[in-house]
Amino acid sequence: MKIAYSSRNLFILAFFILFVVNSIVLWGVFANRSANPDFEGFLTERELNLPWRIQSENSGLSFRIEWRAALNKSYDEYSYTGSGFPVWFNDKKLQKLGFKVDAQLNAKEYKHHYNNQLPKEVYIVLEYNGDSYSKALVIAENELAKSEEKLQIHPEDKDLVRERERAKENLVEEKNSKSRLFAIDVGLVHERLRGIYSDRSKFIITKGIVRPRFYSKKNKNRVVGYITKLSVEKVHIPLKFKNELESFLNKNMTRNNDITNPRYKVKLAYGSRLEPYIVSLKQSVVSKGK
């Protein structure tokens, strides 16, 4: 009887803990959405990716936020989504974030000093379909033009043929499928950043993890800022929106890397706690490249 009584008490305790946790979560959701959104605007499949495969029984489906940065090619051989060394993230930015920057250290001390500093959670500004994306388009167009000029001089060079094809593919992807959401700034005070980037339909201010990194190249020691990730990388898709997705997407589809039009448009909002949520979702009818 004593064991049964203890088990009942444990069950009551577990139920109470579950109730409290769920109440805290629901209160957090309510608090996040109770005030005017800090950001509200339309993003597409280019910025909000689905998993590689949608399982119809998966009720925990989420969009992954795809962001980019104008990377410093001195440190990044390849440009990839979701992390990197932005060209604007220099030692002065790191100092403003509270990292210790000392230009007098030698190479050995430098490496230990910077690579062992703890990362910090700061505010990151993401610009949607703005100047950074326009510059990325220009760069892709220029790269194609350069590769075509070189190929005209050496038309039989197979390496140059492949280079031109890669440049063509990159420009097509830049126009049609790559994310237009770019990290453009960081800071410690949300209100200060919002004062600078006041358009709440164009600039998302969210939290993310950053850290300093040391590099020594051509006998020059450099410290640069590195964006590790966003603190919130996914947006939960409520069941009613998941059903809408499944109304125009194959339930067991595999992601198509050759899409020329985003297949859906999402009205996304960031609440007072800077947590994203879906306001509406519909099938996209935008023209190619938009």
> Are residues 29 and 91 part of one domain?
no
Within a domain: 288: no
Model pLDDT, residue 183: 95
pTM given for the model? 0.80
Within a domain: 270: yes
> Are residues 216 and 188 part of one domain?
yes
Question: How many folded domains does the chain comprise?
Answer: 3
Give dist(CA 144, CA 167) in Å, integer: 5
Which residue type, as a one-letter code, is found at position 135?
Answer: K
Give dist(CA 8, CA 157) in Å, integer: 79
Q: What is the DSSP string of 81-131?
A: TT-B-BTT--HHHHHHTT----TT--HHHHHHHHHTSPPEEEEEEEEESSH
Name the percent of the chain in helix, strand, coil, to the closest 5: 35, 25, 35
> Are residues 113 and 28 part of one domain?
no
Within a domain: 290: no
> Are residues 186 and 172 part of one domain?
no
Instruction: Report yes or no: 126 and 204 within 8 Å, Cβ to Cβ.
Output: yes
Model pLDDT, residue 40: 96
Give dist(CA 167, CA 240) in Å, integer: 41
SS3 162: helix
pLDDT in tens, the chain (290 residues): 444 456 666 656 665 565 555 555 444 454 556 668 999 999 999 999 987 655 555 557 899 999 999 876 655 443 444 556 888 998 899 999 999 887 665 556 666 667 778 899 999 999 999 999 999 999 999 999 999 999 999 989 999 999 999 999 999 999 999 999 999 999 999 999 999 999 999 999 999 999 988 776 666 777 889 999 999 999 999 988 888 787 767 544 445 445 567 889 999 999 988 999 999 998 876 444 44
Nearest CA-CA partner of 249 in 81, 43, 66, 51? 51
Model pLDDT, residue 240: 86
Instruction: Report yes or no: 253 and 45 within 8 Å, Cβ to Cβ.
Output: no
* Residue 172: Cβ within 10 Å count: 16
> Are residues 103 and 201 part of one domain?
yes
> Are residues 124 and 66 part of one domain?
yes
- Exposure string for 7-35, b = 16+ CB within 10 A, e = fewer: eeeeeeeeeeeeeeeeeeeeeeeeebbee
> Are residues 143 and 257 part of one domain?
no
Nearest CA-CA partner of 39 in 164, 115, 124? 124
Within a domain: 14: yes
Instruction: Report yes or no: 264 and 44 within 8 Å, Cβ to Cβ.
Output: yes
Which structural domain, as residue segments, surrounds residue 173?
Answer: 136-179
